[in-house]
């Protein structure tokens, strides 16, 4: 299991210090499956989003759960973070735990 420190380090390397939704400098870490619901610090479960839980892209995800789920920012029951694509950088991508983002092909799309 990946620690919080290691998960954050990998996400920082992946995002280059920028929000993975809009590209703004600076970010907070968002869990696609909440920690309270069994979410882990695996990089596939983490996104770098600007703002906090009430501002910026992180705030948008929290305030718009249905739309955010359609785009892969939240995971539905039964979905795994490594196998469920997320809409980043104007395309569907998978977020493997051990490497950078991959263009999604044959993944679980919602829209």
Residue 111: which pLDDT band, with cuts at 50, 70 and 90? very low
- Give the mean model confidence (pLDDT) for residues 42-46: 96
Per residue in 45-100, pLDDT tens?
999 999 998 999 999 999 999 999 999 999 999 999 999 999 998 889 999 887 67
- The residues spanned by each domain of the chain are 4-104
Q: Which has more pLDDT, 15 or 106? A: 15
- Give the mean model confidence (pLDDT) for residues 22-41: 95
What is the strand order of the sheet 102-103 is part of? 86-88, 91-94, 102-103
DSSP string, 6-56: HHHHHHHHHHTTB-TTT--B--EEEESS-GGGT--S-GGGEEEESS-SSSH
The pTM (predicted TM-score) of the whole model is 0.88
CA nearest neighbour of 82 among 66, 91, 93, 69: 93
Given a cut of 60, whether residue 25 has pLDDT beyond it is yes
């Amino acid at each position: 299991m990946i620690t919080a420190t290691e998960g954050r380090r990998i996400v920082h390397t992946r995002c280059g210090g920028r929000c993975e939704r809009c590209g703004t400098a600076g970010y907070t870490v968002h869990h696609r499956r909440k920690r309270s619901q069994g979410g882990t610090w695996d990089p596939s479960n983490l996104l770098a989003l600007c703002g906090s839980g009430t501002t910026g892209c992180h705030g948008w995800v929290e305030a718009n759960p249905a739309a955010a789920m359609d785009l892969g920012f939240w995971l539905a029951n039964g979905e795994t973070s490594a196998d469920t694509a997320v809409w980043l950088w104007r395309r569907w991508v998978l977020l493997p735990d051990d490497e950078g983002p991959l263009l999604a092909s044959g993944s679980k799309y919602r829209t």
